[in-house]
Chains A and B, each alone.
Chain A
Amino acid sequence: MSNPIPPTRISRADVAHLARLARLDVTEEEVDVFAGQLDVILGSVARVAEVAAADIAPTSHAVPLTNVVRPDVVVPSLPRAAILAGAPSVEDDKFRVPRILVDPA
């Protein structure tokens, strides 16, 4: 057997933690629903542990290509206005980002 699978009881606290890592606000009801569903899904996919694969190389990708390069040629990029037209908020020809610093209290 290969790696032992860790226990997969997904608690409400686990869901809240995962949601925070993934930058997803979740409601209390969602935490309840997701905890049950993630528990079932992860319990099911944990079946991969049944396969003896300790000496098997992992496959990340189906195409055996490495270090794909192209000639270093300068080509025009999209016009700035075309890119900014799709942004939710723009200021001075740039993406406007919400506050990133918190005032020291």
Chain B
Amino acid sequence: MTSGLREATGALTDLDAAAVAAAIADGQASAVEVTQAHLDRIAAIDGQLRAFLHVDAEGALAAAAAVDERHRAGEPLGPLAGVPLAMKDVVVTEGVPTTAGSKILQGWVPPYDATISARIKAAGVVMLGKTNMDEFAMGSSTENSAYFATRNPWDLDRIPGGSSGGSSAAVAAFEAPLAIGTDTGGSIRQPAAVTGIVGHKPTYGAVSRYGLIAFSSSLDQAGPLGRTVLDTALLHQVIAGHDPLDSTSIPQPGPDVVAAAREGARADLRGLRVGVVRELGGEGYQSGVLAAFDAAVEVLRGLGADVIEVSCPHFEYALAAYYLIAPSECSSNLARFDAVRYGLRVGDDGTRSLEEVMSATRKAGFGAEVKRRIMIGTYALSSGYYEAYYGQAQKVRTLIAGDFTSAFTRCDVLVSPTSPFVAFRVGERVADPMAMYVNDLCTLPASLAGTPAISVPCGLAADGSGDPTRLPVGLQVMAPALADDRCYRVAAAFEAARPEPTLPEPTLPEAAR
């Protein structure tokens, strides 16, 4: 009963989201066929990749059948109706287990939907399941998941980035054309970069945080991942917009990022002022990453952009400020895991006090990185240290935002590598927290300033260790607050012009390709 489409274009899982939606709208494939094809691929390869914590096959097929029913009834379908999606497990989903990658929430089934989940359902997007992540989104490799490590489809011995590593791996390995991630210090952009896909961190407040399990409330921002800039923009448009349930949600409509992606792909960049941030490069960056970035800047220049170098002198303090602010907020947010309202309870034998049960539960339920950050935050917020640590970090945050403001008087967008490194080997950095934290060097400034930034694949590079495997490198494009459309426009123009293939075939899963 399938269509010529499969013969014509290969498996349905090869299609990007825009093509899937078009195939369904044209009647060339049903949403159920598309969903089943992705579920089959997950069944075939996820034992190796381990992108999913939970696959909701039944729910996905029911959602797909509902789209097909509406299609048959002649109802208008949205631009992503019937398109499968992988959801990061930090987003609560009614009736579908949600753990945030932590043992403390093992088995918890949320009684409500996050606003993102509700908007995805309303758009007819089909959620396939929940993806693995660093516990409570704290990490850059997904190795801090309490359950298992996810692998990079380009090289199964390597990490898929983090904390949204299950989402990035699923999209890069063609298990889903789209995914939702969250980004507190780079957790959408860095995984997108190291798996060769597109990921966007929206302006803080552009996408509702209602129903996101909080890590660092002033920084957390959900956003889209996809294999093309247009797909990423299509998902952005579905999830963005004011939400009265989130008091930090921006009460005005955002820019039309889909139009920006479409226009960008057709246009050059003449007249665009691009700033290369001097502080985000050089020493400590892999030479292959810098070479790919330099080549990307030449592509932008070739498109007609005026490229200048800019200095953002406080960016070098972003890492220090972030690793005070984020742990401080996390130590407060994670106090809600008190063994009373949800999740794990350990040691409640009738003789132990509430405080003893709480402490035993948190010991058993939290992993090492979460404990480290809670203690750092507790320290930074202690009386006597508060001003010197947390207070000073907040002032540095002001100065970093000021660096952006000043740079954006001279430039329309800023660019940098998304990460100093290509994907590293599983286990390589777990013993040294600081070696893990420097993965976020390039992504932290936009997080602290609340400004939008996108990562778009810009080439392949070896890691310099002698291993000849060439791995994806990301180009980060940063724009002023509320100007998310600029990120998409520039990324789309770059995507259309770059010399390397759009998405080189991941080496994994020959078996299922």
Contacts and interface: CB of A to CB of B under 8 A. Distances in A.
Contacts of B154: none
Contacts of B363: 24-26
B348 A63 contact: no
B375 A98 contact: no
Contact of A48 (B321, B335, B345, B433): B321
A79 to B, nearest CB: 8
A38 B218 contact: no
B450 interface: yes
Interface string B362-404: 1100101001101110110010110111011111111101000
Contacts of A6: 384-385, 388
A49 B392 contact: yes
Range class of the B interface residue count: 35 or more
- For the residues of A in contact with B, the DSSP-based class is loop
B357 A3 contact: no
Interface stretch (B73-81, B164-172, B244-252, B283-291): B244-252
Nearest to A18: B375
A61 B398 CA distance: 10
Contact of A45 (B323, B353, B451): B323
Contact of B340 (A50, A51, A97, A99): A97
Contact of A25 (B360, B372, B388): B360
A57 B362 contact: no
Contact of A41 (B111, B323, B345, B387): B323
Contacts of A57: 395, 398
B375 A24 contact: yes
Interface in A48-105: 48-51, 53, 56-63, 65, 68, 70, 78-79, 82-83, 85-89, 95, 97-100, 102
B314 interface: yes
**B345, B350, B388, B401: residue with the most chain A Cβ atoms closer than 10 Å:** B388
Shortest Cβ-Cβ A-B pairs, 8 listed:
A62-B450, A58-B394, A88-B345, A25-B363, A82-B111, A53-B395, A68-B247, A47-B320
23 contacts: A3-B391, A4-B388, A6-B388, A24-B371, A24-B375, A38-B375, A41-B437, A44-B320, A46-B389, A47-B320, A48-B393, A51-B314, A51-B392, A59-B398, A63-B450, A65-B205, A68-B248, A86-B109, A88-B342, A98-B348, A98-B356, A98-B358, A99-B350
Interface of A: 2-6, 10, 14-15, 18-26, 30, 33-34, 37-38, 40-42, 44-51, 53, 56-63, 65, 68, 70, 78-79, 82-83, 85-89, 95, 97-100, 102
Given A22-B375, A86-B342, A95-B340, 20 more contacts: A6-B385, A19-B371, A25-B362, A33-B368, A40-B433, A44-B319, A44-B434, A48-B389, A48-B393, A51-B396, A56-B399, A58-B391, A59-B395, A60-B394, A61-B248, A62-B449, A65-B205, A86-B110, A87-B340, A89-B345
Interface of B: 108-112, 204-205, 218, 244, 247-248, 250-251, 314, 317, 319-321, 323-324, 331, 335, 338-345, 348, 350-360, 362-363, 366, 368, 371-372, 374-376, 378-379, 382, 384-385, 387-389, 391-399, 401, 433-434, 437, 448-451, 481
